Amino acid sequence: MQEMLSYLIFAAGFIFLAIGTYGMWKNNDFFINITLSSFFDTIGFLCLGLGLMVYLGFQAASLKVLTVLFLFLFLNPLVTHTLARSANLLKTPAKEAANDK
């Protein structure tokens, strides 16, 4: 039962990562891409980490995975905000021009 639950959580994580990748591939807007990548990567990585914790059970390795999850949940939005702010300050155009493709 524990193993099946962990596989379902893993699958949810991979689905979120796939949706985020597809959304980034379809959009040309830099700021939408950075928002999509931040949101879906965070949710996907959280699901993968929680699935790993369920799979491992209560062990020292689960606490290490939890520590990595907390670091990722803090650092990913921080880095995304820093990238978006620097792009905004440098007046990066939001959309690519049609002849840039």
Q: Kindly report, residue by residue over 10-46, the tens digit of the pLDDT.
A: 999 999 999 999 988 888 888 888 888 899 999 999 9
User: Please, what sign has the CA dihedral across residues 30, 34, 39, 44?
Assistant: positive
Residue listed under structure tokens 């390795």:
61
Under 8 Å between Cβ of 10 and 56: no
The confidence score (pLDDT) of residue 23 equals: 87
Instruction: Provide the token pair at 13.
Output: 């994580």
Q: Kindly report, residue by residue over 65-91, the tens digit of the pLDDT.
A: 999 999 999 999 999 999 999 988 988
Report pTM. Answer: 0.81
Q: Kindly report, residue by residue over 36-75, the tens digit of the pLDDT.
A: 889 999 999 999 999 999 999 889 999 999 999 999 999 9
Distance (Å, rounded) from C-alpha 52 to C-alpha 47? 8
